[in-house]
Amino acid sequence: MLAHNRILKQHTRNHTGEKPFKCDVCEESFTQKGNLKQHMRIHTGEKPFKCEVCEASFTQKGNLKQHMRIHNGEKPFKCEVCDESFTVNQYLKWHMRNHTGEKPFKCEVCGESFTRNGTLKQHMMIHTGEKPFKCEVCEASFNLNGNLKQHMRIHTGEKPFKCEICDESFTQNVSLKEHMRIHTGEKPFKCDVCNESFSMNGGLKKHVRIHTAEKPYKCEVCHKMFKWNVCLKMHMRIHTGEKPFECEVCGASFTQNGSLKQHMRIHTGEKPFKCEVCDKMFKWNGYLKVHMRIHTGEKPYKCEVFDKLFNCRENLTIHKSIQAGQKQFNSS
């Protein structure tokens, strides 16, 4: 009977708003004494509920129960729309907004809406410029603690996300997920124009520029435009004179690694390009293409004066030189 009266008394406070249990530190009030005890652990730092697997500690028993699901894989909260499961009921509630389209948290600056209040708070830092999370090594600042943690791996070299197939490790889980597509062959990003598929969204964005002719990367020296940033970087070496790829045999330097690899065939004698008709081998693919015209009879280079055709540009150049010399001889 006493227990029943106590529970009824506690319940009645939900209606009356009475909160008789007050924190002496911050003056926050509570309806139940147990809630005050839990709250006090914020101030004392006490975390009496300890995980026996990884030794993480918690202020509340319920938080420990939620945490244990990380280790046992239990996900009791299931979405009835897409069957995705979650360890915490609140995560399911947030997830359901993806299906309902509900975005109750709105930015008063730009009007963008979000499914979670925490996401709105993060978004607000774009407008305020606030970056409260600072790297103590290089002083780079971030608006999210998670971004700082990822950044710190640059300094520590930590790569906690490991591929179980080839053992390659990554600093971010998203990088591991992208890498796994190499093994699975999954290409979820599809071009709407030619239906070519890509394992990464960045690869699709680069590809689309073939269709749109977009060249977003501009050389500040000569104003030449490029589809890809890597092409701009290679181009800039024309202006800077930088040749970072050096031959260890003869010391020749090159602006591109591919050019160095081609050059090395002079020293190694390697001829990786084979004619499928006569089995002749070539150092460079360009030489193979010219050679193939012997078999195909293709002569794409034309002398406009004599209407004569040639299978390579060099032969056309020689022909023009001979004609120019002969013309000069005849006029003398």
Per-residue pLDDT of the chain (332 residues; tens, 9 = 90+): 555 666 777 777 778 878 888 898 888 888 888 888 888 888 888 888 899 988 888 988 888 998 998 899 899 999 999 989 999 899 999 999 999 999 999 999 999 999 999 899 989 998 999 999 999 999 899 988 889 999 999 999 999 999 999 989 999 888 999 999 999 999 999 999 999 999 988 889 888 888 988 888 999 999 999 988 889 999 999 999 999 999 999 999 999 898 999 999 999 999 999 999 999 999 888 889 999 999 999 999 999 888 889 988 888 899 888 887 776 666 65
In a domain? residue 254? no
| DSSP character at residue 25 | T
The per-residue pLDDT for 38 is: 84
In a domain? residue 36? yes
d(CA 296, CA 294): 6
In a domain? residue 234? no
In one-letter notation, the amino acid at residue 202 is G
| DSSP character at residue 281 | E
Which domain range does residue 293 map to? Answer: 273-319
- 140-183 pLDDT tens trace: 999 888 899 999 999 999 999 999 999 899 998 889 999 999 99
CATH of the domain at 41: 3.30.160.60
Of 226, 228, 225, 258, nearest to 244 (Cα)? 258
In a domain? residue 300? yes
Q: Which two tokens stand for residue 284?
A: 């460079």
d(CA 92, CA 97): 9
In a domain? residue 88? no
In a domain? residue 154? no
In a domain? residue 297? yes
State how many domains the chain has: 2
d(CA 266, CA 285): 14
The per-residue pLDDT for 33 is: 84
d(CA 286, CA 100): 57
In a domain? residue 34? yes
d(CA 261, CA 272): 12
Instruction: Please count the CA atoms within 13 angstroms of the CA of 111 that sit on its side-chain side.
Output: 0
Boundary residue ending a domain (38, 53, 72): 72
Boundary residue ending a domain (55, 72, 89): 72
